[in-house]
Structure 1
């Protein structure tokens, strides 16, 4: 029996829940459809910065009261910002659903943005950006998006850039908040031992808002992509880092599941093609993996690896050689079948966690505007054929469309 329910409140807020019998916990997330892609040049990093400042005081609670409100009950309270969404979430006992709803509603409805705390947080976020820049395995992905989506809003780094963060003022923060934190851009997702109607009552009590005209969640932008090779010199590194990547398709494209199956075969885990070839057979790398990310109007697929700088070109040649082999010979029915089993198992095991279920509900509603059940996802994976996967392979591995980003002490 599927216990998933959805309601759109008069305010425009969408609420989706999944009741799970046999657990005593709940995961609650307030999703706001705003992220780094919504920022203009002078606002770089403001979406993530605002996420931090919500915890610096509201009309009802000071920062310490916010921190203690749920933690004192054994629950958690956190948030994250991405390219396209910001999420404030809590996980705790089912008896604390009302409190969690009130605390998160308070955060995103009644922030004070105190001047003193904003100035302090500019320092904190600046240090976070420095930490990211000091971590080549993370920073290389910022460089990749900056180059591969050069005239597209997905190029914006979630953390932003120090020079723009330092220019943020309370006026800019308040203006950005009023522009994007509207009820029609909020999706509340919850999973666990809860009742849908009960959560609706808590929301209507805690988050009172007037309905405004609805707007589209996303404005599609065509990516003007040209393949490139970019090297970023960073002194003092013992390893060189490399990404080979190409833009692909969006979250709702029918080729998404075939690409996820291929990603599993190519670079997911110790049995993957690249791990076996580059680490086990050639002993060139310690870390190598492939990745596939999907957004509202675009996607990206690639391979990340790191090794001794003198070996980086050898590793690159082997990856490209494998790409050529796969383009020519394709994948076998057995390889595709095994990958589908692994992909389904990972998804199903992940659903034993209420937080993962809440995230699935939130993303499904935001990107599909409807709830896709786990059974529907499994059915979609089951329908993937060897031909589907090989078609995707021939599409995404075209050598003339590959781009390269390096970081190292070259």
Structure 2
């Protein structure tokens, strides 16, 4: 028996012995965007399994029970549109965007990839080398390299601190049987959500999906509490610029503080009129790019700032960022808040025109018991007051932060001896 609820314009149904289906009908659209979301990511791996979720993301494109790797690739190209996937710390997603007339074939392919993948052993040997190349590419990008080590220090000794890619050692150790076992344990209901947005009805999707047999899954994951570190680390790396990250505790993915957090983040480092952009780039010429970011997980989150500057001005730039943070809450004003409200409202409303954006939004249903429409989020953002924004900012910025910087040894040696102490003040 299935039980349905209706949240206009979003509908959802818990399939009997199957995944949760959630849809957003867009009658005027020409396309349908489809996604299978799995509540599994690098956080859920043991040390020996590090990189396994991401490896499966690659391997599920290597054929299904019905189609070998070449036939699958040819069919995906023939459909046109887009087919892709991503792996994060708590989520894996396989998604496609196709024309209305091709949605059944596309959804059938996605289901086959996730439920009945071929996982050929010879393909894993080759694909492992591809992932090694992906690791090398990430190491060649200074910002990515520093970020990975920043997160490792932010969540010390925890799976959250590992990169999604895993390591050469872990990938070299496991075989196709290990991948198959991991898939059987996690890529099943109740860890699964199917999202669809575009020119399609919920009833059409139900009729299609209820004809499939769904394998039984295990109980929901139990994730241990995250522990965040603070302090400062300096990393030696010979680049043309010095890079830095700073992270404070943030909000979880389902936090009720999201509207105020989004607005405050926008004001701090979300655009050309943000505090950081104006002070660090426009007034002082210290950096080409400077921005703040929010990243939320099921039980924790981080509020981060990233930037790069001339190696010899690294300490100066970090001090300026610290001063902007220190002065931020008390000096927030109505004009900034009004501008941020408008920026976020426009972003949300423009996203409503895209079937893919709406589909990805539906995937956030995995984080909470129900989902709000973009219109509801716009209303929530408009209700945030200046006093609320100031209070939230003051509370969050007062928390201990982790600072990470990188540069050549000659530049790191020039950093003031009291820099670490000053940044924690």
Give the TM-score normalised by the residue count of structure 1.
0.95
Aligned to 2:149: 143
Partner residue of 2:260 out of 258, 261, 279: 258
Equivalent in the alignment of 1:102:
108
Secondary structure class of the residue paired with 1:183: coil
Q: Secondary structure at the match of 1:240?
A: strand
Query: Which runs of no fewer than 5 residues in structure 1 stay unpaired?
Result: none
SS in 1 for 2:293: strand
Corresponding residue for residue 397 of structure 1: 397
Asked if residue 374 in structure 1 is aligned to residue 388 in structure 2, the reply is no
Residue 54 of structure 2: aligned partner: 48
Deviation of the 1:225 alpha carbon: 2.8
Q: Post-superposition shift, 1:281? A: 0.9
Which residue is 2:408 aligned to?
A: 409
Q: Give the distance between the partners of 1:10 and 1:224, measured in 2 at CA.
A: 37
Q: Give the secondary-structure state (helix, strand or coil) at the position aligned to 2:173.
A: coil
Does residue 212 of structure 2 align to residue 195 of structure 1? Answer: no
Alignment match, 1:93: 99
Matched, 1:80 2:56: no
Query: 1:70·1:99 contact (CA, 8 Å) conserved in 2?
Result: no
Cα displacement (A) at 1:222: 2.6
1:303-344 superposed Cα distances (whole Å, 9 cap, x missing partner): 1010111011101111111112124x2311221121111111
- Answer yes or no: is the 8 Å Cα contact 1:152–1:222 preserved in 2: no
Does the 8 Å contact 1:148/1:247 carry over to 2? no
* Partner residue, 2:337: 336
CA contact (8 A) 1:8 1:14 kept: yes
Deviations 1:284-306 (A, max 9, x none): 11111110111100000011010
State how far apart, in whole Å, the 1-side matches of 2:80 and 2:118 are.
26
- In structure 2, which of residues 229, 233, 236 is the aligned counterpart of residue 230 of structure 1? 233
1:209-288 aligned within 5 A: 209-212=214-217, 215-216=219-220, 218-235=221-238, 237-288=239-290
CA distance in 2: counterparts of 1:309 and 1:247, whole angstroms:
27
Q: Alignment partner for residue 114 of structure 1, among 120, 139, 150?
A: 120
RMSD: 1.6
Worse overlay, 123-132 or 365-374:
365-374
Q: Distance in 1 between matches of 2:155 and 2:379?
A: 33
Give the Å deviation of 1:156.
2.4
Residue matched to 1:162: 168
Residue deviations 1:191-219, cap 9 Å, x none? 000011111222233x4114446x33x53
SS of structure 1 residue aligned to 2:288: strand
What is the CA–CA distance in structure 2 between the aligned matches of 1:201 and 1:232, rounded to whole Å?
Answer: 55
User: TM-score, length-normalised on structure 2?
Assistant: 0.91
What's the CA shift string for 1:152-199, capped at 9, x where partnerless? Answer: 432121111121112121121111111101121110000000011111
Task: For residue 220 of structure 1, report the CA deviation from its aligned partner.
Answer: 4.3
Structure 2 distance, partners of 1:69, 1:370, is 35
Moved more, 29-38 or 400-409: 400-409
The partner residue of 1:39 within 42, 45, 55 is 45
Report the 3-state secondary structure (helix = DSSP H, G, I; strand = E; otherwise coil) of the residue aligned with 2:117.
coil
Residue equivalent to 2:417:
none
The CA deviation at 1:56 is 1.0
In the alignment, is the contact (CA less than 8 A) between 1:242 and 1:304 conserved in 2? yes
Give, in whole Å, the separation in 2 of the partners of 1:333 and 1:55.
50
Taking the aligned partners of 1:108 and 1:226, their CA distance within structure 2 comes to: 36
In structure 2, what is the equivalent of residue 317 of structure 1?
319
Q: In structure 1, how many angstroms separate the alpha carbons of the residues matched to 2:174 and 2:234?
A: 31
SS at match of 1:23: coil
Give the aligned partner of residue 362 of structure 1.
363
> Does structure 2 retain, via aligned residues, the 8 Å contact 1:245–1:403?
yes
**C-alpha distance in 2 between matches for 1:121 and 1:333:** 53
Structure 1 position 270, deviation (Å): 1.3
